[in-house]
Amino acid sequence: MTRLARTSIWPGIALAGGVFALCLLVSLAFGPASLSLGEVWHYVTTGPVQGDLPNAIFWQIRLPRVLVACLVGAELAVAGVILQDLFLNPLTDPYVTGVSSGAALGATIGIVLHLSNLPWMTVLALIGGFLTLGVVWMAARRRGRIDIFVLLLAGVTISYLASAVVTVLMIRANQDMYAIVYWLMGSFSGRGWPDVEIALVAVPFMIAPLFFAREMDILLQGEKRALELGVEVERTKRVLLVTAGVLTAIAVSVSGIIGFVGLVVPHIVRLLVGPGHRSLLPVSLLLGASMMGIADLLSRTVIAPNEIPVGVVTTFVGAPLFVYLLRRGRKG
Amino acid sequence: MSTTRPRRGLAAVILLSSLVLAVLGAAALAGCGSDASAGGEASPAASASSAPITVADGTGATVTLQQPAVRIVSLAPANTEIAYAIGAGDKMVAGTSYDDYPEEARSLPKTGDFANPNVEKIASFNPDLVLAAGGIQDKLRSKLEQLGMKVYVVDPKTYDGVMTDITNLGQLTGSTEQAEKVADTMQMVKDEVQAQVASASRPVTFLEIYSKPLMTAGSGTFIDDMITLAGGANLGATAGSGFPTFSTEVLFKNDPDVYIADSGSMGKPGDISKRAGFAELTAVKDGHVYVIEDSILARPGPRLAEGLQELVKMIHPEAAAAQ
């Protein structure tokens, strides 16, 4: 784009980075076990120690959980940006491609087969997500090109199909029913370092879209216009769709299905920094991570020792913020 | 049920949450209701076969039969177990897909599964007594009663409440003696256990119902009551009533002496050390991690007595060994 846009992306990114750093600190500093700030600092500086229970609370319980929450938030936000702009549809969220429902089906099978305490459930969720992506992809491919509208419809249809199967399994699985329901609601409770490792796999996929920022900007004007301007439309679509699919599958496989972040964070960021992808993508990544971190902080502290489902918190935090920004955006 | 597509985020979550509440009342518990001490007053003339039999169930509702039931439909595995234990097994005409104890209950005709009993199907058996559960089946009662069926809700909040339900069902099925025997055995086990732990300390005990998210048995549940009877201090009772989620950080902060998991949540005690940080817990270090079979802990029937004996072995191994 213009030189002005090129020079003005950094303040926004720096500010978002600051917000994220603050959210990360707050999330780590507070928790239901009420370690004092001094204690937290002590554990940070001493590192993980065997045989020290409060140290384990910080290093084995709180830190990995916060990291997983932030990573999942970032993954969903980036996937949301990609899919909204590819589908040119503001109501799109990372779950429309059917990937999440496929992942949910995989996880449900894991629960029903009592593989729930092993990494198997995550593996099955990933397999379910990728299989769905493959099916939707095949459905939408015609003479070497991907029809975005067919893809959207196929995704929604597969979504419903997978949900129906999940429901059937749920009814058949008496003892496991609540486990499935809780998984579908999404949660970061009990997530540890293995989950962080899985979520970290998504980092290259969060960065990859940045290299397609220019193409994504042009695609906003429609595929025809993009072709005229020399964009390799099909290749770009392929890369971006797979990227969004992988991000969603990984996010869902560690956290279950958490709504609102992938839908609303991209919109909030567009209102703040505009539609240009060189700033939209990194700022969405950082604010997605921030929002999920804070949502999980509230989820584990507000009614401690109980927990509020994190999906409820993302909605309660996100909805008023979004409405406020929408109104402010109109006036400006 | 709701779809997995959270476009309608809040509504879906609320829907799911209410479902979860219902399911918790059901799957984990097989019922929870109000105070069970209200139940259990048989009419003085109950023994005379011609006089009507009247008892109050766990919800406080009165159930009156003109004569002992001969066609019983059970809507929960616990109810089926009670019916067979009190010698009314031959009067059972239908059970649920989950009935697995005693063995012959498996071959009963089914009314559907626990969460989705089919009203038409229930009516087709033409029962003179339907044994329902609380929680998820609350709405079912009025439907069944509109169709002229008699419904007794088994919904105990305490170990004693289960005994009350058993004697009440004895009245309703004309198996008073056998029911008294079953209740007496439960009472005997309880007295025995009470004697074992009378002078013992009360180790802080955590009971895991589910691990992701971590869920426990809160106050006002018969599981909480059983932990207390077995001489433990239930950490879950600090998190409220029913089956609440429980913060892992708070679990660590309180560092329980004994960690017991329902078999529906953990396969074997060794699994716990695979969870990040759990090796630091006192219960894990001292080897006080146990897995208890779900059907003798979470199913409010006569086998709770076995569950209680198991709990004492886990919470007070020294007292149980001295016996």
Q: What is the DSSP string of A78-122?
A: HHHHHHHHHHT-TT--TTTTSHHHHHHHHHHHHHHTT-TTSTHHH
% residues pLDDT > 70 (chain A) = 95
Q: What is the rounded (10 degree) CA torsion for A109, A114, A119, A122?
A: 20
- pLDDT above 60 (res A92): yes
This prediction's pTM: 0.83
Amino acid occupying residue A276 = G
**B252 at the A interface (CB within 8 A)?**
yes
Distance from the A267 Cα atom to the nearest Cα atom in chain B, whole angstroms: 14
**Average pLDDT value for residue range A31-40:** 86
CA distance B254 to B214: 15
Cβ neighbors of B146 (< 8 A, separation 6 or more) are none
- pLDDT above 50 (res A109): yes
What tens digit of pLDDT does each residue of B101-139 get?
899 999 999 887 666 778 888 999 999 999 999 877 888
Tokens of B226: 């059983």
Contact assignment for B5 to A166 by CB distance below 8 Å = no
Torsion sign across C-alpha atoms B172, B177, B178, B183: positive
- pLDDT reported for residue B276: 84
Question: pLDDT confidence of A123, banded at 50, 70, 90?
Answer: confident
What tens digit of pLDDT does each residue of B157-183 get?
999 999 999 999 999 999 999 999 999
Q: Say which of B5, B210, B214 has its CB closest to residue A159.
A: B5
CA distance A240 to A29: 36
Question: pLDDT confidence of A111, banded at 50, 70, 90?
Answer: confident
H or E segment at A266?
Answer: helix A261-273
Tokens of B7: 């476009």
For chain B, which ranges sit under pLDDT 50? 1-16, 19-48
Distance from the B165 Cα atom to the nearest Cα atom in chain A, whole angstroms: 23
Q: Say which of A53, A114, A194 has its CB closest to residue B255.
A: A53
Higher pLDDT residue, B173 or A4? B173
Distance from the A56 Cα atom to the nearest Cα atom in chain B, whole angstroms: 6
- pLDDT reported for residue A94: 85
- pLDDT reported for residue B15: 47
Summary count for chain A: helices (H), strands (E): 16, 2
Higher pLDDT residue, B285 or A330? B285
CA distance A266 to A272: 10
Chain B residues lying within 8 Å of A56, measured CB to CB: 252, 277, 280
Q: Please state the ipTM of this predicted complex.
A: 0.83
Lowest mean pLDDT of A167-171, A293-297, B150-154, name the range.
Answer: A167-171
Cβ neighbors of A142 (< 8 A, separation 6 or more) are A150
Chain A residues lying within 8 Å of B28, measured CB to CB: 178
Q: What is the secondary structure of B242-259 as a DSSP string?
A: SS-B--HHHHHHH--SEE
**B276 at the A interface (CB within 8 A)?**
yes
Q: Which residue has the tokens 């491919």?
A: A141
**Average pLDDT value for residue range A282-303:** 95
Q: What is the secondary structure of B144-207 as a DSSP string?
A: HHHTT--EEEE--SSHHHHHHHHHHHHHHHT-HHHHHHHHHHHHHHHHHHHHHHTTS---EEEE
Contact assignment for A117 to B274 by CB distance below 8 Å = yes
Closest-CA residue to B99 (of B83, B86, B120, B87): B83
Residues in B 122-161 with any Cβ partner in A closer than 8 A:
none
Pairing of strands B151-154, B129-133: parallel
Distance from the B214 Cα atom to the nearest Cα atom in chain A, whole angstroms: 7
CA distance B277 to A62: 10
Question: Rounded to 5 degrees, what angle do the CA atoms A86, A89, A93 make?
Answer: 80
- pLDDT reported for residue B173: 95
Question: pLDDT confidence of A330, banded at 50, 70, 90?
Answer: low
Chain A residues lying within 8 Å of B20, measured CB to CB: 178, 181-182, 185
- pLDDT reported for residue B313: 95
Cβ neighbors of B29 (< 8 A, separation 6 or more) are B135, B221, B222, B223, B243, B298, B300
